[in-house]
Every structure is written in C-alpha cells, then in structure tokens.
C-alpha cells in the first residue's frame, strides 16, 4: 500500500535507502523496529488495556511481531497497528 497520509508514518524509519521523489509504500517502513519501546493494546468488548513492551523484531503495518511485555517478561505475538503501537490478537 502507498502512504496516503504522511501523519500516520511520522516517527517511522525506512528499511532501505530512499530517493527524492520516490513513492513510499508501507513495506518500505519500519513502524515497529527491534529494540523499540512499544505500546501494547488489547481490547475486548468495552474493556481496553495498554502496557509497554520491547519489540523483538521489525514490523510494518499489519505484520505480526513478537513483543516482550515489560511487566511480565513474556514474549507475546501482536499485530503492528501504528508507529510503536501493537495490538494483541485473539
């Protein structure tokens, strides 16, 4: 997918060198990068909870990545939903 709204990718990093005027796709960007502190979100019904974790791998929008929960120390599988934001999938 081509980036249509620049505000959605502010704070992301590119995975490869980019040229002036080059079209940027979401696959070119690292929205969650290994070692970054990320917000882990989980919601079900009317309840929403968030905590922080450390990304164990790079990911673009929609990718599934492993994140280490800082409170429990456990690795969890989560979906990249934004810059430094992941959501636990059920």
Q: Domain ranges in the chain?
A: 6-88
- What fold does the segment set 6-88 form as a domain? SH3 type barrels. (2.30.30)
**Which stretches does DSSP call E strand in 9-84?**
13-14, 29-30, 37-44, 47-55, 64-69, 75-82
Q: How far apart are CA 31 and CA 33, in angstroms?
A: 6
Q: What per-residue confidence (pLDDT) applies to 78?
A: 97
Q: What per-residue confidence (pLDDT) applies to 85?
A: 96
Beta carbons within 8 Å of 83's beta carbon, 6+ residues apart: 8, 9, 10, 11, 12, 31, 32
Q: For 34-68, what is each residue's pLDDT tens digit?
A: 999 999 999 988 899 999 999 999 998 899 999 99
Q: For 4-33, what is each residue's pLDDT tens digit?
A: 776 666 677 777 677 788 777 767 778 999
Look at strands 37-44 and 85-88 and give their pairing: parallel
């Amino acid at each position: 997918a081509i980036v249509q709204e620049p505000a959605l990718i502010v704070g992301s990093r590119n995975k490869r060198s980019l040229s002036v005027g080059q079209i940027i796709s979401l696959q070119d960007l690292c929205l969650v990068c290994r070692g970054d502190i990320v917000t882990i979100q989980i919601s079900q019904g009317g309840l929403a909870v968030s905590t922080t974790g450390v990304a164990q791998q790079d990911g673009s929008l929609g990718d599934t990545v492993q994140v280490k929960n800082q409170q429990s120390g456990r690795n969890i599988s989560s979906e990249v939903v934004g810059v430094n934001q992941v959501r636990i999938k059920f």
